[in-house]
Amino acid sequence: MNTSLALAGIIIGGIAAILVLKFIMRCVEAKHAERARRQEALAPASGTYDSAAAAAGAPPHHHRVRVEMESVNRFLDDILREKPARFTPENLREFTGDYAERVGAGGFGVVYRGSFPNGVQVAVKILHSTLDRRAEEQFMAEVGTAARTYHINLVRLYGFCFDATTKALVYEYLENGSLDRILFDQEHHRGRRDGAGVEFDTLHGIVVGTARGVRYLHEECQHRIIHYDIKPGNVLLAADYAPKVADFGLAKLCNRDNTHLTMTGARGTPGYAAPELWLPLPVTHKCDVYSFGMLVFEILGRRRNLVSQHPAESQEWYPKWVWQRFDQGRFYEVMAASGIRRKDGEKAERMCMVALWCIQYQPEARPSMSSVVRMLEGEEQIARPVNPFTKQIDFG
C-alpha cells in the first residue's frame, strides 16, 4: 500500500513538473514574441545600415576613414544586441515628418520632435555632419552608456543612426523640455502668477529625482558610470515634471575597483564642473556630486549661480552668497529672495545644506549620492556644513 502511494506520488509529481516546465516555456516564448513585436514597431526591416550600398552612393573617402567607419560599425552592432535599435536616415525622416518640428539645439546638433509608427513620441537629435574625432567618441559613449542603463530618472535611448551621411540619437520625448527652460527662460515665466512657473514642492521633487538618477549611475549599475556634465540643461522633464538625467555624451564607464580616473582633458561645463576636473587633481565620481550641488543652488535660487551685472558692478556668485547668510543664521533672506514660502522652509533649508556639502572643495568631504537622497528625503540627519570656500579658486 505504501509502495503504491509512493509510486502515485512520484507520477503526480512528475506530471506537475512537466506542466510547470511547459508553462515556463510558453512564458519565455511569449516574451520573445512581444520583444519581436516591439522591435518591428520601432524599426522597419530596412533599419540596418548597409555599408557597401552607402559607400557606393557616397562621395569617395580615404581608406583610413573607411577603416574607422568599419570599427565604429562593429562597436555599434555590439551595442545593438543589448537594447537600442538601429535606424536609417529614411526612418528618421519618416519619424519626424521630414524634420518638421525643431525643438532645440546644442553644440553638437539639432533636436526634432517625431513619433514612431505606433504613436510613441520621440526626440531625434541629428548631430552636425562635420563631426571631429572627439564628437564621434562622444556619440559612441552616449550609445554605449545608455544601452547599459535603465532607470525611471534616466532618459531612455530608443535607438541611433550612424552612416556616412547621418548620425543621430533617438530618445523618448519629454513634454516639458529641459530644467533650464523652466528656471531661466523668461518667456516660460511670463504671465504666471508665481513668477517661477512651478511650485516649490515640484522643484524639490525634481531635485530628489535627479539625485536618484545620479545615484543609479554611481551605485546601482554593474559598472559605475560618471556623467561629468550634470547641469539643468541635461535634466529633462516629463509632463508631470518627473526629472530624467540626459546626455551621456561625456560619460565614461569605469570599474568600481578603480577609485581614480586618468583624464585626457578637461570635461564638463564651467560653473558646474568640480575643481579636480580643471586642476591636476585625481578625479572620482564625486565630481558629479559637486555638479549636482551647483544644480541644487540654481533650483533653490531659481536663477543662475553667476549672474552678470552691469560692467561697472561686481559679479555676484550665488552659492557663496547663500553660504554667508546660512552661516550667519539668516537663511530667511535666501527664502525671501527666491519667493520660498514659510511652509516650505524646512525642505528649502535641507536642500541648501545638502548643496553646501556637495560642493566641498575636497572630494572626500562630499557625500555619496545615496546619502544625498536620504538627506533630501529627511531619512538621514544632516550635519552642519563647513565652509566650502576655504580654497580660493576661480569657479567661473
**Which of the residues are catalytic?**
229
- Look up cell 562621395; give the residue: 59
The torsion region of residue 350 among left (phi > 0), alpha (psi -120 to 50) and beta comes to alpha
Counting Cβ atoms within 10 Å, is residue 180 exposed (0-12), middle (13-18) or buried (19+)? middle
Handedness of CA 147, 150, 156, 159 (dihedral sign): positive
What kind and span of H or E run contains 254?
A: strand 252-254
The pairing of strands 252-254 and 224-226 is antiparallel
To the question of whether residue 125 is assigned a binding role by annotation, the answer is yes
Q: How far is CA 290 from CA 91, 202, 317, 358, 391, in A?
A: 40, 22, 16, 5, 15
Which DSSP string corresponds to 20-34?
HHHHHHHHHHHHHHH
> CA-to-CA distance for 145 and 281, rounded, in angstroms?
25
DSSP-assigned beta bridge partners for residue 102: 112
Residue 128 DSSP code? P
Residue 298 phi, psi dihedral angles, 5° rounding: -70, -30
Strand partners, 254: 224
Separation CA 49–CA 161 (nearest Å): 8
Residue 243, H or E segment: strand 243-245
State the residue for C-alpha cell 525634481: 206
- CA 55, distance to chain mean position in Å, is 34
Q: Cα separation of 150 and 251, whole Å? A: 15
DSSP 216: I
Could you tell me the three cell numbers for 294? 551647483
Annotated binding site for ATP: 125
